[in-house]
Structure 1
Amino acid sequence: MGGPGSGKTTFLNFVALCLAGELLGLPAANLKLLRQPIPREPDAARGSKAKRQRWTHGALLPVCVVLRDFAASLPADAAVDADTLWRFIFGQWPEPLRPYAAPLQRELLGRGGLILLDGLDEVPDAENRRAQVKQAVQSFAGLYGQCRFLVTSRTYAYQRQDWKLIGFAERELLPFTRGQIERFIDAWYAHMAHDLARLSASQAADGAARLKRASERPELSELAARPLLLTLMARLQTRGGGALPESREKLYAESVDMLLDEWERHKPRFDRSGQRVDEPCLGEWLGASRESIRREIDRLAYEVHLAQPSLTGTADIHEAALTAALRAASRDRPDARLMRLEEYLRDRAGLLSAHGEGWYQFPHRSFQEYLAACHLARFKFPDRLSELAKADPDRWREVLLLAAASVSNAPGSIWELVDALCPDGVDADPEAPEADGGTQWGALLAGQALHETGLAAADPDLQVRHETKRRRVRDWQRRLLRSRVLPARERALAGDLLAALGDPRHELLDVDHLRFAFVPRGAFWMGDERNSDAPLHRNETLDYDYWIAESPVTVAQFAQFVASAGGEVGYPEALRDPPNRPVAWVSWHDALAFCAWLGERWRDRLPAGWLVALPSEAEWEKAARGGVELPVAAQYATVGPGFALAGPARRKNPQPQRAWPWGDEWESDRANAERNVGASSTPGCFEAGRSPYGCLDMAGNVWEWTRSLWGTEGWQPAFVYPYDARDRQREDLNAPDDVWRVVRGGSWSIHRGDARCASRYWDRPGSRNDALGFRVVLRSSPVL
């Protein structure tokens, strides 16, 4: 069993080919191919062996039957048995093969074979056909007891109890794994190059690499797991000269056209006399133009999407609704013609496919959303579209973005949509009451629409009235970072949109505006009472003031270092995230070099004796947890105006041994951890997670390098607590690379336990990954 386009018929034909090839001695198709292991997954453990497919029955003689054609040959309400099916099998043979009917029958009765029966669900239900076919199959299976049987059917159709074949086990085809997707792509392009000679070897290799990358795109990865849709992607790319459309809207537009082609193509069948009959295409059947069919299908997609109870999957469409839509497209056709629509559509895995008795579905939710978007863009743009999206963004977001993309060749329409989504400016007062959910969602979706249609960036040629709207949307994204209505993932999205619109927070984009939080000298609690290597203790060795960066160093700031140093980034991924996100993919050596560069840049602007450095783990933990005493209010400074070094008024820390920067209870909305966002995020998305000194993202987001040493053994630190900040050996910057460095703070992907203030981890100085960054400190004590 499997859904439409899941590969049922292809699988059946593949099994038949391999068995026939084994009997004929073919080198390319045989039992070896049938038993070939499923390809290794890209993330499989090195050295693991793939298991061969379990076929233990030898080279059975394959006999294939298309049940739709068998049903068409049956007289109405006639009694059927095993002999009826047998006569159909040899009745399709050309005359020269007819003498072999008796030897074949003896073979099947004696040694057995494999009877492959394709499309049980494609048998029309009219005139009691399914009951006849089921009876014939059951009788044949009883008489030819030495044979094995493989029958295919769509999953939902087979759930009907009166359909089920007695004594048959049920199995369902799984979606493609990543390894299978990649092998399919390799095989597709090998066929194009070697068998069809349409491409050179280098063109095929390039095309395969492109399609593999494309199939990993978020909007395509789920489609690629479906054989029909992966084939569709391969055909689109081949037809498109080697690349899929980058725009989702264009991808779906071309896909829908191709699925309409599949739906409308002439498909042969055999009548009761065995004669081939080419059925008319859908437009001919209905007497309707392709444009009118498409218009009504768009409307149907909108209506079922609006009414669908679930926010996942595709809607179930009753045949009455589909018939009504096609009747509206046809208008002039008699109803009798439409009554045969189910029979026409049942075996066509095109734009709509049968999904059980009297029900249909689109091949994927994304197609349903795209077609609904086309209807809204044509008839209900932008007012109704914006109303729906603001009221129910989970249902209508993708529809809105696809509708915006479909009208992007007329930018004025996009600005109308922005006005409808985000009509009012944001209140600049940070203490202003929070806007309602619909207003916030409208502003967020307006930002997405501008970004996805290429209108987010400032443009000197943009009309003033539209630039006003663009800035309004930008200002809203900044406000949304602090939203208590939007989930963390949406606040992170607002941060990325803010980068595209032009983030006005200079402290995140320019090193010379980097903001520092003041940490006064004094005792603090360090360590964890549950950790024998780093026990909780009162540390009084940080007897100096220092300033620590409010946020980790960002992509934009690291890019300044790369450009000013005249060098190349050690790993290109480091500069690919939005500029206002923390930089990642940096080694400890990269971070240390940044500090040296920034210290030299600021040499004349820093107080005498002050240097830029990576924090020690003691400095980092105190900044995250707070000292025994705290400033009455957080104090910030930048290198431009200078640093006020006079100690502010103090107050007692109410939680000097706190587990996380905000307290002892984990609150997921205060930290980017445990994959609640799925990637790093711009500082400010977790405003409520500030440390007692006012630092952001000291729990989660990215791990942060320190200058402190760990040792040479993971899980067993050489440098244990109590921590003495005066011990220069444990902060030796010249230690060899086989001595690991301490990293702190956790990251977007780790468990909350690793985001605690006292949590210690380690990494090799040359290590890089997508969750490893750093922040800097300014201090007056010697930094080696």
Structure 2
Amino acid sequence: MPAHDLLAERPLLLTIMAQLHAFTGQLPEDRTQLYTEAVQFLNNDWNKAGVFIDYIRERAGLLIRHKTEAYTFPHRTFQEFLAACHLASLPDYASEAARLVRAEPDRWREVFLLAAGYSARINLLGQALNAVNALCPFEPDAPRSAAPADWPAAPLAGMALLEIGLVGVQREPVGQAVQQRVQRWLQIGMRHDALTPRERAEAGAVLARLGDPRDEVLFSAAMEFCYVPAGPFWMGSQDDPDAQNIEQPQEKLEIFYGYWIGRYPVTNAQFGEFAAAGGYREARYWGEARAAGYWNSDGYKGWRDYERRQTPSNFGEPRNLPNHPVVEVSWYEGLAYTRWLQEWLTGQIPAGWRVRLPNEPEWEKAARGGVEMPAQKLLRLVTEGLTDERAPTMHPNLQERQRYPWGNEPDANRANYDESGIGATSAVGCFAGGASVYGVEELSGNVWEWTRSLYGEYPYPMSGAERDKRENLAAGSSDLRIIRGGAYYVNRTHVRCARRYRYYPDYWDNNWRFSGGGVPMMTLASDSPCAGWLPLESPGKPRSPSTAPAPYPAGLRKVG
């Protein structure tokens, strides 16, 4: 959002901006420059501003007069800017600014940022970079152990670089070095328990603006997947006071095949590749949406759309940041992405495998874990090759019926839901502590995830015509699809492994994703209640000759 859009929300600044625009005919986009011109306006043309001064003093109470021609601003923003100008003029500005903000971050945060921006605007770029360097002076993996104040300093250092302007930062060798160091701090910090959930989310958002170096988060062809071995697991709820009727009864089911599922939800950057490649105009990806009347060669138009579009709807930051899960996507859009990705990964996945949205059993097993769990998590990048794995060494899962991917108790430090206090989507990877036993992250919270399953009561059909009906992709648009996982705005009961929700396939929301990165569960992610994960699946491979199942999809049976 442009600087003046945010500043205009404050009455004093809006009035000053109106005066500036009247005298200059335009407003600067940069907030530091806006403050500078506002102060110069009041200082250099005091007579013309007299009426204005009287107004804001007498009518708005926004100036306090202490003596003739001496005023102070009770409005803290201008106080902070003037303090920043003074700080930037000190001989030891860089070290003093870092010292002050480390000692009292709440008091000096905005002053530090504005001082960095102001220094850069008055041709003291080197001074501004030195201040950032003083705040974040060593590598996060340096022999010296990081102090508690070092971790929250990294997001602030990143915001200061943005305040300076990345064009100027990248023009100087020292700026390039500082930026890369801060990026490394943020990449580690967003997964570190030294930061609160809100601080980790801030670190992820700053990293997105500086440039997230994680290829597996930005590029579809570099996605990272987790292996879920074949075997039994518990599906549904039992003896859970938060359980809904549609989660019951709980049964032990067995999935005969192993599959890969995305470590993270699909991100805006990854889904953006599909859109940029013309995916919204390719008929071969949209068969079901075309049959339902939601797609033609001009693009997609669902229930909440006013016109046809070729990209997801854009609700601004932070939801549209490249490393955040993609949201505002319907089930049809998630399905189309999986088909595009299937083509995109040709040659990188075994022949006969398919990229698709997960069904409910696949999603819930990936979240809760099986009756047994692998001795070691198997995570692999697409570029490293996804193969039909041999059964890994397994151990008994002592929490085989756990309510959350991490255990039986809710924990706002492990998932982005209402108690985390973030109030928006967060960059993928901010909740490492919420990973399932297979290494899959953010199955709980952040954004809802689409599955390919239609709504139906339990028990889940295991094979035959009923199973085919439950997972019929060609079902009508009035047939509800299941979404899983909860989102940033829901309470703890909605982020349980067994929680189910249902919605129409043409509906999208700015809180849904699908697994894989903002779309249905491939492990795409959407920021709304209809998103899900998207697993890579091997044709149903039997665990042993004596239990050989029919070819997929009859790869599921009740145990006991």
TM interval, short-chain normalised: 0.7 to 0.9
Distance apart, 1:348 and its partner CA:
8.2
Question: Which of 274, 278, 283 is the matching residue for 1:565?
Answer: 278
Q: Is the 8 A contact 2:312 2:328 kept in 1?
A: yes
Change over 3 Å in CA distance of 1:608–1:406 after alignment to 2: same
In 2: Cα distance, 1:456 partner to 1:519 partner: 44
Q: Which amino acid counterpart does residue 16 of structure 2 have in structure 1?
A: L
In 2: Cα distance, 1:509 partner to 1:574 partner: 19
Aligned to 1:426: 140
Aligned to 2:446: 701
Question: Which of 382, 389, 414 is the matching residue for 1:670?
Answer: 414
Change over 3 Å in CA distance of 1:487–1:376 after alignment to 2: same
Change over 3 Å in CA distance of 1:669–1:603 after alignment to 2: same
Aligned to 1:81: none
Aligned residue runs from structure 1 range 309-348, under 5 A: 347=58
Distance apart, 1:588 and its partner CA:
0.9
Question: Which of 93, 103, 119 is the matching residue for 1:407?
Answer: 119
Question: Which of 404, 407, 429 is the matching residue for 1:684?
Answer: 429
In 1: Cα distance, 2:4 partner to 2:245 partner: 44
Change over 3 Å in CA distance of 1:218–1:756 after alignment to 2: farther
Change over 3 Å in CA distance of 1:656–1:413 after alignment to 2: same
Q: Which amino acid counterpart does residue 404 of structure 1 have in structure 2?
A: A
Aligned to 2:304: none
Distance apart, 1:541 and its partner CA:
4.2
Task: Map Cα deviations across residues 569-608 of structure 1 (whole Å, 9 max, x no partner).
Answer: 3334189722121111111111101100111222333223
In 2: Cα distance, 1:347 partner to 1:518 partner: 68
Aligned to 2:299: none
In 2: Cα distance, 1:266 partner to 1:772 partner: 50
How many aligned residue pairs are there? 478
Aligned residue runs from structure 1 range 100-499, under 5 A: 217-221=5-9, 223=10, 226=11, 228-241=12-25, 244-258=27-41, 347=58, 352-353=63-64, 362-379=73-90, 381-409=93-121, 410=123, 411-427=125-141, 435-455=146-166, 459=170, 462-499=171-208
Aligned to 1:772: 512
**Structure 2: gaps of 5 or more residues:** 281-308, 516-521, 523-534, 540-551, 555-560
Task: Map Cα deviations across residues 525-582 of structure 1 (whole Å, 9 max, x no partner).
Answer: 1222332222141231422211110011111111111222354633341897221211
Q: Secondary structure at the match of 1:408?
A: helix
Q: Secondary structure at the match of 1:670?
A: coil
Q: Which amino acid counterpart does residue 749 of structure 1 have in structure 2?
A: Y
Q: Secondary structure at the match of 1:640?
A: helix
Aligned to 2:322: 579
Q: Does 1:625 align with 2:338?
A: no
In 1: Cα distance, 2:315 partner to 2:58 partner: 50
In 1: Cα distance, 2:172 partner to 2:152 partner: 25
In 2: Cα distance, 1:433 partner to 1:611 partner: 47
In 2: Cα distance, 1:610 partner to 1:551 partner: 20
Q: Which amino acid counterpart does residue 459 of structure 2 have in structure 1?
A: P
Q: Is the 8 A contact 1:422 1:443 kept in 2?
A: yes
In 1: Cα distance, 2:368 partner to 2:144 partner: 30
Task: Map Cα deviations across residues 102-129 of structure 1 (whole Å, 9 max, x no partner).
Answer: xxxxxxxxxxxxxxxxxxxxxxxxxxxx
Q: Is the 8 A contact 1:354 1:360 kept in 2?
A: yes
Question: Which of 551, 554, 557 is the matching residue for 2:267?
Answer: 554
Aligned to 1:500: 209
Aligned to 1:137: none
Aligned to 1:535: 248
**Larger mean Cα displacement after TM superposition, 465-474 or 559-568:** 559-568
Q: Is the 8 A contact 1:616 1:708 kept in 2?
A: yes
Seq. identity, %? 41
Change over 3 Å in CA distance of 1:229–1:509 after alignment to 2: closer
Change over 3 Å in CA distance of 1:245–1:525 after alignment to 2: same
Aligned to 2:478: 738
**Pair member with larger Rg:** 1
In 1: Cα distance, 2:462 partner to 2:167 partner: 48
Task: Map Cα deviations across residues 305-356 of structure 1 (whole Å, 9 max, x no partner).
Answer: xxxxxxxxxxxxxxxxxxxxxxxxxxxxxxxxxxxxxx9x98586873269x
Q: Which amino acid counterpart does residue 771 of structure 1 have in structure 2?
A: N
Q: Secondary structure at the match of 2:260?
A: strand
In 2: Cα distance, 1:265 partner to 1:353 partner: 19
TM-score, normalised to structure 2's length? 0.78
Q: Is the 8 A contact 2:154 2:186 kept in 1?
A: yes
Aligned to 2:401: 657
Q: Secondary structure at the match of 2:482?
A: strand
In 2: Cα distance, 1:349 partner to 1:408 partner: 33
Change over 3 Å in CA distance of 1:725–1:240 after alignment to 2: farther
In 2: Cα distance, 1:433 partner to 1:650 partner: 38
Question: Which of 510, 514, 517 is the matching residue for 2:226?
Answer: 517
Aligned to 1:748: 488
Distance apart, 1:723 and its partner CA:
1.5
Change over 3 Å in CA distance of 1:267–1:735 after alignment to 2: closer
Task: Map Cα deviations across residues 69-119 of structure 1 (whole Å, 9 max, x no partner).
Answer: xxxxxxxxxxxxxxxxxxxxxxxxxxxxxxxxxxxxxxxxxxxxxxxxxxx
Change over 3 Å in CA distance of 1:606–1:575 after alignment to 2: farther
Q: Which amino acid counterpart does residue 230 of structure 2 have in structure 1?
A: R
Aligned to 1:646: 390
Q: Which amino acid counterpart does residue 246 of structure 1 have in structure 2?
A: E
Q: Is the 8 A contact 2:431 2:442 kept in 1?
A: yes
Q: Is the 8 A contact 1:407 1:414 kept in 2?
A: yes
Q: Which amino acid counterpart does residue 676 of structure 1 have in structure 2?
A: G
Q: Which amino acid counterpart does residue 650 of structure 1 have in structure 2?
A: M
Q: Secondary structure at the match of 1:680?
A: coil
**Larger mean Cα displacement after TM superposition, 698-707 or 667-676:** 667-676
In 1: Cα distance, 2:86 partner to 2:479 partner: 62
In 2: Cα distance, 1:587 partner to 1:237 partner: 42
Q: Which amino acid counterpart does residue 205 of structure 2 have in structure 1?
A: D
Q: Secondary structure at the match of 2:269?
A: helix
In 2: Cα distance, 1:610 partner to 1:509 partner: 23
Q: Is the 8 A contact 1:508 1:554 kept in 2?
A: yes
In 1: Cα distance, 2:357 partner to 2:391 partner: 23
Q: Which amino acid counterpart does residue 693 of structure 1 have in structure 2?
A: Y
Q: Is the 8 A contact 1:516 1:550 kept in 2?
A: yes
Distance apart, 1:214 and its partner CA:
7.0
In 2: Cα distance, 1:754 partner to 1:433 partner: 42
Aligned residue runs from structure 1 range 590-605, under 5 A: 590-605=333-348
In 1: Cα distance, 2:266 partner to 2:351 partner: 24
Q: Greater RCO between the two (CA within 8 Å, min separation 6)?
A: 2
Aligned to 1:721: 458
Higher normalized helix content (fraction of residues): 1
Distance apart, 1:234 and its partner CA:
3.0
**Structure 1: gaps of 5 or more residues:** 1-212, 269-280, 283-342, 711-718
Change over 3 Å in CA distance of 1:625–1:354 after alignment to 2: farther
Aligned to 2:558: none
In 2: Cα distance, 1:368 partner to 1:267 partner: 20
Q: Secondary structure at the match of 2:439?
A: coil
Change over 3 Å in CA distance of 1:260–1:415 after alignment to 2: closer
Change over 3 Å in CA distance of 1:546–1:258 after alignment to 2: same
Distance apart, 1:484 and its partner CA:
2.1
Change over 3 Å in CA distance of 1:458–1:399 after alignment to 2: closer
TM-score, normalised to structure 1's length? 0.57
Distance apart, 1:633 and its partner CA:
1.5
In 2: Cα distance, 1:651 partner to 1:691 partner: 15
Q: Is the 8 A contact 1:523 1:541 kept in 2?
A: yes
Q: Is the 8 A contact 2:64 2:73 kept in 1?
A: yes
